[in-house]
Structure 1
């Protein structure tokens, strides 16, 4: 039985195999995704982001368990940071959600970011499609937790959950111009710590500035490790999807995300063509030495590489 049919037959091993092929850039994976693309778009895709140490994995674990109690099936894509030196990744999120590994209604996939900026792996979008075809009701994407550059999650999710923790102080102001604006729902995790109410107040004050917004992001208090505040948080996530559909913004958001995906794919393919051709002719290496020795400027070098593929 071929991989395509095995996916349609709900085989977990086939899902894992197809995601691996997509991560490695294998043509077979994208051939299957092209063929089965009309079966995607049914799952509620939820992005979970926030600073390192906010408890994103624990919160994801509790949200998934709450959905499982409702009989829903769930896919989890946990993106971990990758070493820029060895290319290795600890993939610790899967360890934190180890209890879910034996649940037949849950599929967890850890992915290394592989140096891709924006808090996500390059293959994240492909993995979301695979899980959507597989037929889960919800898909969680948990980002690496890298801070301001982590806005790519908004291009991939229907609902973005921003997880914050008390004690960041002025850090909220520092990251406000980046990831704070993409939150559709906010969660103050570890709310039993000092300063939790202050953190919630600061976020509410920030949200007050955007008076023209059609959706006011709710701010929830949670203690994930004690399973407190999870049901309220999940209800707000569901309410956001209802709002998107009732307001007509659901289709608008998905059209915008599709546009961004097409542009990113074109960029990736063009970059691959440029570097592949230039690498074979050792042009990049030669120009790099000249730029380093100040024999030529980087702007002229970039133009020469582009002219080389015409």
Structure 2
């Protein structure tokens, strides 16, 4: 009976019923019985939406930017899903900020689905529930999915596991650029947005970001540990795209673009980084050099919407690069692999916790270790032995 009810819920979601979508995401977040069956059923209907992760320090204006970006997509006739990963409540584990009233430009628009979700104790990180919620929005038929993360430091790198394109927001004059480099955020950003570009110090922040990108692209080890993020804006051969960090000044439309590609410049006065993609570029044949991507820098003033169109075009350029270079498929495989590992770790951990409880609980083992009756390694071997034997028997 339960399985039939869940199948009915999935059918309603696939039919475009917003109420069913909300219920599915609630089940996913609370890990209600049967939620895995739901995710399994909708899996075959995913893979159509483009997913953008937006991260950056608190106060950088992420929520306002997400609001205006969603409005831009709606003006283009596209449907949007927004997941805001909020700080977890220390009491309930739920999102502290709840469904924040921050989508002012999209109030009453049923084609913008907004949901706050708890980071479940991993500030800046994306829980498994968030990744499954993205699948629900994708299967529902949303054209664009935006994930806004908490913005709390090192754990922001988790956004890479779920998003096709990673946008990092920087606030002028706050020292965020240096902090990003320390936290490793520079390595995951595909597009950098200097928001509040009307503030003093915006030009300096843009220049510093360009220099940091330039230094990263000059790092001979970047290709060894950075995946597609170590690639240099889209070009047919390595070295194009203004690797001096200031290429593309005074491009074809007269707007100076930093880090441009083959003479192209920014889309407008807020486009730093140029247009990294030629419209008639075909996917490379076997043996040809793959297109590469140098992170772009875009200036915006989210409160007024200035620069949002340029940002949307740059995001489109990056998605085109991912599709034509084959990186989109590579990233999908990487995400699937990481998800399998995460689920295995989670499930095995639960099995082992039950085994510990069956044997008297962790406190009993800890007491024995402190009393020098045994040691942590011996306890681990003892608890894992049945699982190891079971897996080894399977090999036979």
Select 1:230's aligned residue among 308, 312, 315: 308
Select 1:271's aligned residue among 307, 328, 349: 349
Select 1:13's aligned residue among 19, 27, 51: 19
| 1:147-166 Cα deviation digits (max 9, x unpaired) | 11211110101111111111
Select 2:46's aligned residue among 37, 40, 43: 40
Match of residue 198 from structure 2: 192
Select 1:137's aligned residue among 143, 146, 155: 143
Say if 2:119 and 2:126, in contact at 8 Å, map to a contact too. yes
Equivalent residues in 2 for 1:173-252, closer than 5 Å:
173-177=178-182, 178-209=184-215, 210-211=217-218, 213=232, 214-252=292-330
Query: Does the C-alpha gap of structure 1 residues 81 and 300 become closer, same or farther in structure 2, counting only changes over 3 Å?
Result: farther
Tell me by how many angstroms 1:110 deviates. Answer: 0.6
Say if 1:277 and 1:309, in contact at 8 Å, map to a contact too. no
| TM-score, normalised relative to structure 1 | 0.91
Tell me by how many angstroms 1:89 deviates. Answer: 2.9
Match of residue 147 from structure 1: 153
| 1:71 partnered with 2:149 | no
Q: How many aligned positions are there?
A: 309
Query: Does the C-alpha gap of structure 1 residues 199 and 296 become closer, same or farther in structure 2, counting only changes over 3 Å?
Result: farther
| 1:107-161 Cα deviation digits (max 9, x unpaired) | 1111011113552233011101100110010001111111112111101011111
| Greater share of residues in helix | 1
Tell me by how many angstroms 1:201 deviates. Answer: 1.2
Say if 2:68 and 2:105, in contact at 8 Å, map to a contact too. no
Say if 1:62 and 1:230, in contact at 8 Å, map to a contact too. yes
Instruction: Supply the distance in 2 between the matched residues of 1:26 and 1:293 (Cα, whole angstroms).
Output: 41
Query: Does the C-alpha gap of structure 1 residues 20 and 276 become closer, same or farther in structure 2, counting only changes over 3 Å?
Result: farther
Say if 2:170 and 2:177, in contact at 8 Å, map to a contact too. no
Which structure has the higher relative contact order (CA within 8 Å, separation 6+)? Answer: 1
| 1:79-120 Cα deviation digits (max 9, x unpaired) | 101133553432256321255342111111110111135522
Say if 1:278 and 1:308, in contact at 8 Å, map to a contact too. no
| 1:261 partnered with 2:339 | yes
- Structure 2 residue runs of 5 or longer lacking an equivalent are 219-230, 233-291, 389-396
Say if 1:80 and 1:93, in contact at 8 Å, map to a contact too. no
* CA root-mean-square deviation: 2.2
| 1:89 partnered with 2:95 | yes
| 1:286 partnered with 2:364 | yes
| TM-score, normalised relative to structure 2 | 0.73
Match of residue 306 from structure 1: 384
Q: Which moved more, 1:85-94 or 1:5-14?
A: 85-94
Instruction: Supply the distance in 1 between the matched residues of 2:202 and 2:354 (Cα, whole angstroms).
Output: 51
Tell me by how many angstroms 1:281 deviates. Answer: 3.9
Say if 2:71 and 2:105, in contact at 8 Å, map to a contact too. no
Match of residue 156 from structure 1: 162
Select 1:102's aligned residue among 108, 127, 136: 108
